[in-house]
Amino acid sequence: MAKISVEHVSVDFKQKKGSFKAVSDVSFAVEQGEIYGIVGLSGAGKSTLVRTLNLLQAPSAGSIKIDEQEITQLKGQDLRDLRQKIGMIFQHFNLIQNRTIAQNLAFSLKAGNYPAEKQKERIDELLRLVDLQEKKNDYPSSLSGGQKQRIGIARALANQPEILLCDEATSALDVETTEEILQLLQRINQDLGITIVFITHELDVGKRLFDRMGVMEAGTLIEEGSTYQIFSAPQQLVTRRFVSRNLSLSIPQEVKEHLTDGRLLELRYQGEHTLDPLISDMVQKWPISISIIHAKIEYIQQKAIGILCIYLTGEEEAMQQAQDEIKKHVYQLRTVEKGA
């Protein structure tokens, strides 16, 4: 059973000269305990879409179900009860600056009607969870960006939600701090079984965190699949561009200019064949030489994707035979233009 089910959801914003469709006929499902990501460039409609999941943004059309309950028409207490099940983490933390960290967490607990006599214990528990016990009486201004986001996560978890929505939760952080936040979210997902929906424009975040993901462009979900599927075999142009920027190898023109007598090839592997001894096999089989110019292997969901740039030299017929044989054993082979 899907924890979240979105069917044909659209969001229209009225403007002076008509209306603007920020989200257009989007459908997807998120399973219980899954980390599901939505990736897209700025303006793709990601934030608008994720805010429909707790009705911070009302959809103009379509159905949204949580635990098979239709939520789009909820109001009053029913809507408040729904939001108790859904925590949200924001890009810019949204902490109350003139309150201590403990008071920030207490504010969320009070808003969620958490029993007053248990709030102190819960605050201590949340701070242990994000490893910031010593910051309890500090103010947000004294914290680093990563520490602020940890408090943002603690606040989102205050009332024991079942779903966590992350709206660009790492885009204001540096690379090292981003990694720490991703590891924390993975631990929360695994230890607490919380379903996470994470939106980002950073595909590298998806590679490390998501179980499955969708790609948005101009308000539409254009592609969806496991994270490995998206990286290993992207179908849409936008997705291929995203993946290419993340996995591509760039050979300096100065290097290409020295490679004048042979063939410069880029090979892409995936799955179980990534680590096969292909190069040594080809050299033994054909009277050619192969130089490895550049190589990269990424592991996504414990499966490998490899990119290898090689330079073949030898007799023309032998090079062609070797290239034809190599092509049978890789996912993709292309000739790199030396003048490009």
CA-closest candidate to residue 325, choices 297, 284, 275: 284
- Residue ranges in the chain modelled with pLDDT below 50: 340
Widest pairwise Cα distance in the chain: 83
Q: What is the DSSP letter of 272?
A: G
Q: Supply the pLDDT for residue 339.
A: 53
Determine the Cα–Cα distance for residues 28 and 7; give it in Å rounded to an integer.
Answer: 7
Which neighbouring-strand residues pair with 28?
A: 6
Q: Determine contact, residues 124/200, Cβ cutoff 8 Å.
A: no
pTM, whole model, 2 decimals?
Answer: 0.85
The structure tokens listed for 298 are: 């990424």
CATH topology of domain 2-245: Rossmann fold (3.40.50)
CA-closest candidate to residue 210, choices 224, 191, 192: 224
Q: Supply the pLDDT for residue 338.
A: 61
Determine the Cα–Cα distance for residues 285 and 331; give it in Å rounded to an integer.
Answer: 21
Q: Supply the pLDDT for residue 148.
A: 94
DSSP per position, 174-232: -HHHHHHHHHHHHHHHHHH--EEEEEES-HHHHHHH-SEEEEEETTEEEEEEEHHHHHH
The structure tokens listed for 162 are: 């079942």
Determine the Cα–Cα distance for residues 284 and 134; give it in Å rounded to an integer.
Answer: 62
Determine the Cα–Cα distance for residues 108 and 158; give it in Å rounded to an integer.
Answer: 7
Q: Supply the pLDDT for residue 277.
A: 74
Helix (H, G, I), strand (E, B) or coil at 134: helix
The region that residue 189 occupies, defined by phi over 0 for left and psi between -120 and 50 for alpha, beta otherwise, is alpha
The 10 Å Cβ neighbour count of residue 32 is: 14
Determine the Cα–Cα distance for residues 260 and 311; give it in Å rounded to an integer.
Answer: 10
Q: Which part of the chain has CATH 3.30.70.260?
A: 253-335
Q: What are the b/e assignments for 305-322, b being 16+ CB within 10 Å?
A: bbbbbbbbebeeebbebb
Q: Supply the pLDDT for residue 48.
A: 95
Q: Which part of the chain has CATH 3.40.50.300?
A: 2-245
Q: Supply the pLDDT for residue 273.
A: 58
Q: Supply the pLDDT for residue 232.
A: 83
The architecture of the domain spanning 253-335 is 2-Layer Sandwich (3.30)
Determine the Cα–Cα distance for residues 219 and 26; give it in Å rounded to an integer.
Answer: 8
φ and ψ at residue 53, rounded to 5 degrees: -70, -20
The structure tokens listed for 231 are: 């990286």
Contacts of 295 (CB under 8 A, 6+ apart): 249, 306, 307, 308, 309
